[in-house]
Chain A
């Protein structure tokens, strides 16, 4: 499968715990994006990388959120001290430069 993959697909955690999600982009894509989607809404942009450089962060990305793409390939998104309001689907997408973005299946986070 040469699409975008995400792991885990589902995560249930207790409030206050830290969680980390992984995204593996399409191999030849130099850009990687993170979005968040709540029920009934469209995805909202969080941040993106071009190669290993994080070029933009949304105001939605609070200080508890951090994303990395250390080798310009896979990326991780960590949420520290999770809150119930963090419950959402976290989507990763990749693209070649500013071309069409292709999305992964998402990680559904539930914070109890």
Chain B
């Protein structure tokens, strides 16, 4: 079956430190991965994506790494700020179809000022 999951449900980091959020997936047919950020009471916000033909992709203060060998991806946030506090979901498309996003359960990131 298909599933996308996260290693840790909660993560606390000091402001200014780097954050790493990990995600495991089970279906090797997964082709497209997305990280979403969801703040309390809001909808998921697109952060960054990566396709399976890439190992790394960088955005503004964020980097996503994909290791297809062990079916693992991670989101790195540089110089974490209080505004980064949210739940982060890894999600995938392609294992079953490209018509729906399959979300993992989420990691709650708390930034300590």
Contact = CB atoms under 8 A, between A and B. Distances in A.
A89 to B, nearest CB: 8
Interface stretch (A12-20, A65-73, A74-82, A95-103): A95-103
Contact of B103 (A44, A56, A104): A44
Nearest to A44: B103
Contacts, number: 54
Interface in B25-40: 34, 36
Interface string B14-55: 000000000000000000001010000111111001000000
Contacts of A48: 99-100
A100 B46 contact: yes
Interface residues of A, number: 24
A103 B45 contact: yes
- The B interface, classified by DSSP as helix, strand, loop or mixed, is loop
B46 A43 contact: no
Contacts of B34: 100
A108 B36 CA distance: 19
Interface of B: 34, 36, 41-46, 49, 89, 91, 93, 97-106
Nearest 7 pairs of A and B residues by beta carbon: A42-B103, A103-B43, A45-B100, A98-B98, A103-B44, A106-B43, A105-B43
